[in-house]
Structure 1
Amino acid sequence: MKRICNQCNCEMVDNCSFNVEGALYGIRIKRKGKRLFSSVSEVPKAAVCPNCGSVMFYIENYEDLTK
């Protein structure tokens, strides 16, 4: 899926990773499920615009979070 920059309508470079400085644990998007131990979590990725430098965060398996 092509990601388009909201600022300049240029195609973004996706599948980039990112780190939180000073923290080794990273960032996860998490949703608690209805049953015990049924939570779903995803690691977000970043897309960067090569034209203006704008950054967009996204997750690939967003369908799992809506169930």
Structure 2
Amino acid sequence: MNRTCNQCQAEMIKDCKVSVEYDVSGISISQKRKGLFNSVSAKTKASVCPNCGFVALYIDEYEKFNK
């Protein structure tokens, strides 16, 4: 899926790695559901606009959160 910058409408560069300084695991998104051991999580990726520098975070496994 192509990503378009919200600021200047340019095509963004996808699959950039997101990491927090001094933490090699980066940022992950998680959702707790009902029941024991019934949670879902995904690693965060970023897309960067080469035109204006706008950064957008996203996950590839978004279907898992829609249950």
Same fold (TM over 0.5): yes
Please state if 1:64 is matched with 2:59: no
Distance 1:3 1:48 in 2: 9
Distance 2:25 2:45 in 1: 15
The 5 A counterparts of 1:15-54 are 15-54=15-54
Q: Unaligned regions of 5+ residues in structure 1, if any?
A: none
Count of residue pairs brought into register by the alignment: 67
Summarize deviations over 1:21-61 as a string: whole Å, max 9, x none: 12234211000121210100000100000111110000111
Q: Unaligned regions of 5+ residues in structure 2, if any?
A: none
Summarize deviations over 1:5-30 as a string: whole Å, max 9, x none: 00000000001102111223421100
Q: Which residue of 2 aligns with 1:5?
A: 5
CA RMSD of aligned residues (A): 1.0
